[in-house]
Amino acid sequence: MIVHKAGSLFESDAPVLVHGVNCVGTMGAGIARQFASRYPDMLLAYRRYCQEGHLSPGGLFIWSTPDAPIIVNAATQQFYGSRGRAKMEWLQESLEKLVGYAPLWDAVPEKRMAMPRIGSGLGGLDWFAVEPIIKIITEGFEVEVWTPQS
């Protein structure tokens, strides 16, 4: 079930926050930049994970600490900037891995997550094509989709 919310994703009390990232370790723009600013230790770990060659398109980097929600960095883009457009298949693969990642959902049995219009901002995907994919893949989960207020 998708629940649409307006405002900042960081207003959510969902135990899991999901957003799209590239595979080269940069979080210099968009919602990723906000994650990097709020969670600098996550940024350092993500950057190291990418530099070591562990993150590829369609993959996940999951970060957690007792003081923050679980952060799921979904690799929807290979690069950043104009070369780094998201691809639907990478988004789909990341979300399938996320919903199938049993240890995460054992730790958070309520199966609730929040995300922006993933892949549709700087990633360049059409939200109206992305949303039905999210609905299908996340069936049985509560997904908050946050849209910034203008």
**Over the stretch 118-136, which tens digit does the pLDDT of each residue have?**
999 888 899 999 999 999 9
- The domain ranges of the chain are 2-147
Q: How many C-beta atoms lie closer than 10 Å to residue 145's C-beta?
A: 20
**Dist CA 133 CA 88 (whole Å):** 9
Closest Cα partner for 126 from 70, 75, 88? 88
Q: What pLDDT shows up at residue 142?
A: 96
Q: What pLDDT shows up at residue 72?
A: 97
pLDDT 10s digits, 136-147: 999 999 999 999
Q: What pLDDT shows up at residue 82?
A: 59
Give the count of alpha carbons within 13 A of 142, CB side only: 12
**Dist CA 79 CA 85 (whole Å):** 7
- What number is the average pLDDT over the span 104-128? 92
pLDDT at 71 over 70: yes
Closest Cα partner for 137 from 79, 103, 88? 88
**Dist CA 104 CA 101 (whole Å):** 6
SS3 content of the chain, % helix, strand, coil (to 5): 40, 20, 40
Residue 150 confidence class, pLDDT cut points 50, 70, 90: low
> What's the topology of domain 2-147?
Leucine Aminopeptidase, subunit E; domain 1 (3.40.220)
Residue 81 confidence class, pLDDT cut points 50, 70, 90: low
pLDDT at 15 over 70: yes
